[in-house]
Chain A
Amino acid sequence: DAMVIQNPRYQVTQFGKPVTLSCSQTLNHNVMYWYQQKSSQAPKLLFHYYDKDFNNEADTPDNFQSRRPNTSFCFLDIRSPGLGDAAMYLCATSRVRGGNQPQHFGDGTRLSIL
């Protein structure tokens, strides 16, 4: 089945130690999104790629970066994780960008900071 796959499901890192989360998709969708979901809060969009075009949300901290080396893969890099970055990180895809396009989500990666 075509799907969105996130690795790992659980990630533990140390305060200030760079960490990378991975997302891959077999849907051949043009758009890939990264959402951050803190405990008891709504998921919030960090940024997205439309093909190779990177689009950062205005209030996304500089600490967060993303890479999309090809259509199938997208990475979320946190350069110096702080305690406040502990959250569930959700990757999603859509065929094209637009309000009428349903987004398909992965299982998420739960990040803990020691």
Chain B
Amino acid sequence: AQTVTQSQPEMSVQEAETVTLSCTYDTSENNYYLFWYKQPPSRQMILVIRQEAYKQQNATENRFSVNFQKAAKSFSLKISDSQLGDTAMYFCAYVSNSGYALNFGKGTSLLVTP
């Protein structure tokens, strides 16, 4: 079974600063997908960014970018120019190419302060 580890239960960053959330995973497969989901307080979980393992180029979505290191099985999320609305629980998730179930990490609670 694949495992996803987020080693930072809580993080804090000041508005306009940059923060990086860590995620590592364990798999024996070569083709898979990695996701970062954001869950604001009392609101639904939404997809932030997605990375296909067969693509070497790191995915980017506006202020959000990833550092995907396939050999190291590492998938970190960088949030640039942090905004108060970025305050949320962030989940890293893995799905194999042939699978469907999201394997989530335990999450990192990010607080953006003024």
Contact = CB atoms under 8 A, between A and B. Distances in A.
B111 to A, nearest CB: 17
Nearest to A42: B104
Residue in A41, A43, A57 with the greatest tally of chain B CB atoms within 10 Å: A43
Interface in A32-81: 33, 35, 40-45, 48, 57
A99 B43 contact: no
Contacts of A104: 47
A107 B42 contact: yes
Contacts of B64: none
B11 interface: no
Interface string B27-49: 00001110101000011111100
A42 B43 contact: no
Interface string A95-112: 001111111111110000
B9 to A, nearest CB: 8
Q: How large is the interface on B (under 10, 10 to 19, 20 to 34, 35 or more residues)?
A: 20 to 34
Contact of B105 (A42, A90, A99, A103): A42
A87 interface: no
A31 interface: yes
Q: How large is the interface on A (under 10, 10 to 19, 20 to 34, 35 or more residues)?
A: 20 to 34
B97 A99 contact: yes
A105 B100 contact: no
B33 A43 contact: no
A4 interface: yes
Interface of A: 4, 31, 33, 35, 40-45, 48, 57, 90, 92, 94, 97-108
Nearest to A43: B104
B44 A107 contact: yes
Contacts of B4: 42
A107 B42 CA distance: 7
Nearest to B32: A99
Nearest to A50: B100
A72 B9 CA distance: 36
Nearest to B94: A99
Given A42-B91, A43-B91, A100-B33, A106 B102 contact: no
Given A105-B45, A107-B42, A107-B44, A99 B98 contact: yes
